[in-house]
């Protein structure tokens, strides 16, 4: 069938009321009936006059900051909630995956949960029966099929939940941040299935904070901002514009005062180290980490260090202000505030990092804690495939590949047969 339209969103707005709990007590409701004047509550427009079409077989990514209306949009597309104004239309069977394992019950066995979840996701029981072996094999839980899933490890649970979701048969697949759970392998598997859905000609709408995935899977992306459509176009262009504009630049965290401690952290910050840029943390530019703290006691041999880890916990830097650098804090007066700053050259791969601050002596740490999390964004030349590779450093290696004279390869081969 030629590509018709699968989804039409026409001037959709959605209003939520704030300033009240998620639900009212009867008393509040009665008093609102009596005092008609005082009903005006704070309102939030999660979506504002949103319009777009999605063709059959198109793979659409939706990006935006938290609170931009992404999840609300998916809820309206999947008819979980209705718009306050406008209309959303879908054609074909809609499979919405807003959460992995919706409706799973811990007391039920794997098999029972497969049926429960399958039917919830829109399969018929006969269809689940037909696909049961496939689902079980996909999840790799053959031996535990009749065990209550409360005894499953969290990995098994996720695999089973995703296995069911991967075997539904919708025309329109709607996915929210499912890729954000589980380990790297699991995420890759989810991603793979999404691409497969797309290759099978299904319409896919995918919300993710993982811009690399959006780039990789989607040909088109929507950028939502404050409930409105900011940009609609090829995903590479939209993601690029979004990264330049919307991702927070650098990061700062501050700490609560602890007046009784000998050492107290004040703040930690990360920022682009070169001055020309607009403060975006990018893998191809140096960045600086800074820790501010107060020393309240004279402690011999007091020094400071930074540890940098990937979000998967791989330690990539462990740098102390060592004795060879004259590294001892000798406060002139007490208490004394310090700023320790370290510039990291552009060697790390794009990704999420965690900064650990350390203040202590040879005898050990006096303060050691995660002080900051931040992301290094891809450089301008990085392809989405390059971003997806599982690596920690990307120091900009130099390749030297050239043609050299042909060697006589027949001789050693003949040798080996002798």
Partner 1 sequence: MQPAASEDAAEARRWVDNEPSGKWFPGIPVAELWAERELALILALKDLKLRYKQTFFGVAWVLLQPLVAVLIFSLVFGRAAGLPTDGIPYPVFAYTGLALWFYFTAAVSSAAQCLLDNKELVAKVYFPRLLAPIASMLPGLVDLAVSLPVIAVFLAIWTVAPGLALLTLPLWVLATVVTALGAGLLLAGLNVRYRDVRFVLGFLIQAWLFATPVVYSISLIKGSWRYLYALNPMASIVAGFRWSIAGGPPPGLEVLVSGGVVVVLLAVGFLYFTHVERSFADVI
Q: How far apart are CA 178 and CA 80, in angstroms?
A: 17
User: CB-wise, 114 or 222, nearer to partner 1?
Assistant: 114
| Listed ranges 61-69, 90-98, 218-226, 333-341: which one lies at the site for partner 1 (CB under 8 A) | 90-98
- Assigned token pair, 2: 């030629």
Give bridge partners of residue 231 from the DSSP assignment.
223
- CA dihedral sign of residues 323, 327, 330, 335: negative
- Assigned token pair, 116: 């429960």
| Listed ranges 18-26, 244-252, 359-367, 406-414: which one lies at the site for partner 1 (CB under 8 A) | 18-26
Residue 305, classed as helix, strand or coil, is strand
| Listed ranges 196-204, 210-218, 345-353, 376-384: which one lies at the site for partner 1 (CB under 8 A) | 196-204
Assign 3-class secondary structure to 236-286: HHHHHHHHHHCCCCCEEEECCCCCCCCEEEEEEEEEECCCCCCCCCECCCC
Q: How far apart are CA 243 and CA 378, in angstroms?
A: 10
CB 320 within 8 A of CB 275: no
Question: Within a 13 Å sphere around the CA of 3, how many CA atoms are in the beta-carbon half?
Answer: 11
x/- track of binding to partner 1 for residues 95-114 (CB under 8 A): -x-xx--xx-x-xx---x--
32 scored as a contact of partner 1 (CB under 8 A): no
| Listed ranges 134-142, 198-206, 217-225, 369-377: which one lies at the site for partner 1 (CB under 8 A) | 198-206
User: CB-wise, 126 or 153, nearer to partner 1?
Assistant: 126
Single out the residue of 32, 55, 67, 86 in contact with partner 1 (rule: CB under 8 A).
Answer: 86
80 scored as a contact of partner 1 (CB under 8 A): yes
Of 362, 287, 349, 352, nearest to 320 by C-alpha is 362
315 scored as a contact of partner 1 (CB under 8 A): no
397 scored as a contact of partner 1 (CB under 8 A): no
User: CB-wise, 128 or 291, nearer to partner 1?
Assistant: 128
Beta carbon of residue 161, minimum distance to partner 1 (angstroms, whole number) = 12
User: CB-wise, 83 or 350, nearer to partner 1?
Assistant: 83
Contacts (CB under 8 A) with partner 1, residues 131-190: 169-171
Beta carbon of residue 73, minimum distance to partner 1 (angstroms, whole number) = 11
Cis check for the bond before 140: say yes or no (omega within 30 of 0). Answer: no
User: CB-wise, 41 or 298, nearer to partner 1?
Assistant: 41
For residue 297, CA distances in Å to 70, 262, 361 come to 50, 5, 13
24 scored as a contact of partner 1 (CB under 8 A): yes
39 scored as a contact of partner 1 (CB under 8 A): no
Residues 6+ apart with CB under 8 A from 317: 306, 307, 308, 344
Exposed, middle or buried: residue 403 (CB in 10 Å: 0-12, 13-18, 19+)? exposed
Beta carbon of residue 92, minimum distance to partner 1 (angstroms, whole number) = 6
Beta carbon of residue 231, minimum distance to partner 1 (angstroms, whole number) = 24
x/- track of binding to partner 1 for residues 241-260 (CB under 8 A): --------------------
| DSSP conformation class of 9 | E
125 scored as a contact of partner 1 (CB under 8 A): yes
User: CB-wise, 93 or 244, nearer to partner 1?
Assistant: 93
Kindly list the residues in this chain that would bind partner 1 in the complex (CB under 8 A). 1, 16, 22-26, 29, 75-94, 96, 98-99, 102-103, 105, 107-108, 112, 115-116, 119-121, 124-125, 169-171, 200-202
């Amino acid at each position: 069938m030629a590509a018709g339209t699968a989804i039409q969103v026409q001037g959709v707005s959605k209003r939520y009321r704030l300033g009240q709990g998620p639900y009212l007590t009867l008393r509040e409701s009665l008093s609102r009936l009596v005092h008609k004047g005082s009903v005006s509550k704070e309102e939030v427009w999660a979506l504002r006059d949103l319009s777009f079409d999605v063709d059959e077989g198109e793979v659409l990514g939706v990006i935006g900051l938290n609170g931009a209306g992404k999840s609300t949009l998916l809820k309206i597309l999947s008819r979980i909630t209705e718009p306050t104004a406008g209309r959303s239309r879908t054609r074909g069977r809609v499979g919405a995956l807003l959460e992995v394992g919706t409706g799973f019950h811990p007391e039920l066995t794997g098999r029972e949960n497969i049926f429960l979840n399958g039917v919830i996701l829109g399969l018929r029981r006969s269809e689940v029966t037909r696909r049961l072996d496939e689902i079980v094999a996909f999840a790799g839980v053959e031996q535990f099929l009749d065990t209550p899933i409360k005894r499953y490890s969290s990995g098994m649970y996720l695999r089973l939940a995703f296995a069911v979701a991967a075997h539904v048969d919708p025309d329109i697949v709607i996915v929210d941040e499912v890729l954000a759970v589980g380990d790297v392998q699991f995420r890759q598997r989810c991603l793979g299935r999404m691409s497969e859905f797309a290759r099978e000609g299904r319409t896919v709408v995918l919300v993710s904070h993982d811009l690399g995935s959006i780039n990789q899977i989607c040909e088109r992306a929507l950028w939502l901002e404050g409930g409105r459509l900011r940009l609609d176009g090829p995903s590479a262009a939209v993601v690029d514009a979004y990264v330049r504009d919307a991702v927070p630049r650098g990061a700062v965290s501050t700490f609560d005062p602890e007046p009784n401690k000998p050492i107290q952290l004040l703040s930690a910050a990360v920022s682009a180290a070169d001055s020309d840029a607009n403060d975006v943390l990018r893998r191809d530019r140096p960045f600086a980490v800074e820790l501010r703290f107060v020393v309240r006691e004279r402690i011999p041999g007091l020094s400071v260090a930074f540890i940098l880890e990937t979000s998967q916990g791989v330690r990539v830097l462990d740098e102390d202000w060592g004795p060879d650098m004259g590294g001892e804090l000798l406060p002139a007066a007490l208490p004394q505030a310090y700023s320790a700053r370290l510039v990291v050259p552009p060697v790390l791969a794009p990704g999420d990092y965690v900064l650990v601050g350390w203040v202590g002596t040879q005898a050990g740490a006096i303060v050691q804690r995660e002080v900051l999390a931040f992301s290094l964004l891809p450089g301008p030349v990085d392809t989405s495939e390059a971003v997806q590779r599982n690596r920690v450093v990307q120091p900009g290696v130099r390749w030297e590949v050239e043609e050299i004279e042909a060697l006589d390869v027949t001789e050693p081969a003949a040798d080996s047969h002798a």
